[in-house]
Amino acid sequence: RPILCVVGARPNFMKIAPIMRAFAAAEIPALLLHTGQHYDADMNDAFFRDLGIPHPDINLEVGSGTHAQQTAEIMRRVEPVLDQHQPAAILVVGDVNSTIACALVAAKKGVPVIHVEAGLRSRDRTMPEEINRVLTDQISDLLFTTERSALDNLKQEGIDPERVHFVGNVMIDTLHYNLRQAIPASDTLKAQGLDAGLIDSPAGYALLTLHRPSNVDDRTVLTGITDCINRIARDLDLPIIFPIHPRTRGRLMEFGLLDTLDPRRVLCTPPLGYLQLLGLMREARLVLTDSGGIQEETTALGIPCITLRHNTERPITVTEGTNTLVGNQPEAIMGAVTQALAQPAKSGRIPEYWDGKAAERIAAVLKGWSPDRT
Ligand code: UD1
């Protein structure tokens, strides 16, 4: 019987690609289910194409909604799929609503749950992802972790360490696999009809991504951040490339902030494909972000990362990598950027098992795994 592999939102796609490849190589039968949480061409199709993910066998087409609507709709639609396909197990990745929704339905139907990227904790329960992480891990039979701190978190929550395997980071598998195909920053800007000459200066440019509700849904916070963007781009003379997530674009328009960004210094684009973003990260002087995955990718690339959050569920990016947590207050952001520009770039260390082979390790564990024993 196959393992039913689940994806739903953009950060899931980078995690599932190497797993599907490793399963095919190890002859582990698998089906791919897409919940449809993300559906726009630039949030979805571009990633399947860039990453060579097989066309999903099943698409639930749930789309957007409140957390309750989205989670409930995924649960309702995934149940008959489990009945029909009788999978040996369900494999979920990361911490999005699709992750908990599918895990919860499977667990209650007695289908073993495998969680990839288990045990990460920000200890911030105002983050919807933190709730998804804690709950998914509690109902998982087999848990794969990306960094050693995750096992301590899981033990504290009473999870049997026998179920936990430290395998490394599948997102970094994807980064290694695709780095040579990364698209040069100037090509990406030209493709968007933007002035590529702006990033020619020796000072380089900063890459900015922003989508957390805590940063973009509050008018005062988002106004402070947009002020910083202009100050960095003009006063600190560091042009900014800003691919805008649909949630963020919506809030910037609603608060009348989109037009306040200086178009000569801040280059706004729609959400970009994986190979484009990888190219932009690799060439950046520094990256400003509130994404989880980008904290890890910049650590793997040795590019300084300034994270607009007070906490991170990925502490190894700070202790070993290139990440600095600054929160979302303007003075803290400006201070961190000024300091980063004054220093030679911090290159950090590559964390253990972030070596491109995490998915192979997962496949090897699954080869010898009998769900009945858990
Ligand atoms: C989700 C994940 C978050 C992840 C992020 C990456 C949860 C709880 N959150 O947040 O962990 O970091 O994806 O992008 O699962 N929208 C579109 N087109 C799309 C998808 C969304 O326009 O293809 C718009 C809709 O207005 C939607 C909003 O974006 O309401 C938010 O989408 P949603 O999937 O609810 O959450 P994200 O903010 O994308």
| 325 in any annotated domain | yes
Q: What is the pLDDT of residue 203?
A: 87
Mind listing the pLDDT tens digit for each residue in 24-80?
999 999 999 999 999 999 999 999 999 999 999 999 999 999 999 999 999 999 999
| 369 in any annotated domain | yes
Domain that holds residue 286: 184-342
Ligand 1, atom 31, lies closest to the CA of 247
105 and 12 co-located in one domain: yes
307 and 257 co-located in one domain: yes
Q: What is the pLDDT of residue 201?
A: 84
pLDDT mean across residues, the chain: 96
Query: How close is the Cα of 71 to the center of ligand 1, in Å?
Result: 12
Token output for 240: 């900014």
Query: How close is the Cα of 38 to the center of ligand 1, in Å?
Result: 6
Mind listing the pLDDT tens digit for each residue in 200-242?
888 899 999 999 999 999 999 999 999 999 999 999 999 999 9
Mind listing the pLDDT tens digit for each residue in 179-195?
999 999 999 999 999 99
289 φ/ψ angles, rounded to the nearest 5 degrees? -160, 165
| 176 in any annotated domain | no
Q: What is the pLDDT of residue 373?
A: 46
Q: Is 270 in the pocket of ligand 1 (CB under 6 A)?
A: no
| 319 in any annotated domain | yes
| 178 in any annotated domain | no
CATH number reported for the structural domain that contains residue 198 in this entry: 3.40.50.2000
| 133 in any annotated domain | yes
| 251 in any annotated domain | yes
* CB neighbour burial string for 75-96, b if at least 16 within 10 angstroms, e if fewer: bebbeebbeebebbbbbbbbbb
Q: What is the pLDDT of residue 346?
A: 64
144 and 87 co-located in one domain: yes
| Active-site position among 38, 165, 211, 245 | 211
Mind listing the pLDDT tens digit for each residue in 294-347?
999 999 999 999 999 999 999 999 999 999 999 999 999 999 999 999 987 667
- The residue-averaged pLDDT of 6-19 equals 98
**Nearest to 245, CA basis, from 310, 304, 293, 298:** 293
Total domain count for the chain? Answer: 2
- The residue-averaged pLDDT of 102-121 equals 98
Is the pLDDT reported for residue 374 higher than 90? no
| 215 in any annotated domain | yes
334 and 196 co-located in one domain: yes
Task: Establish whether 211 is a catalytic residue.
Answer: yes
153 and 218 co-located in one domain: no
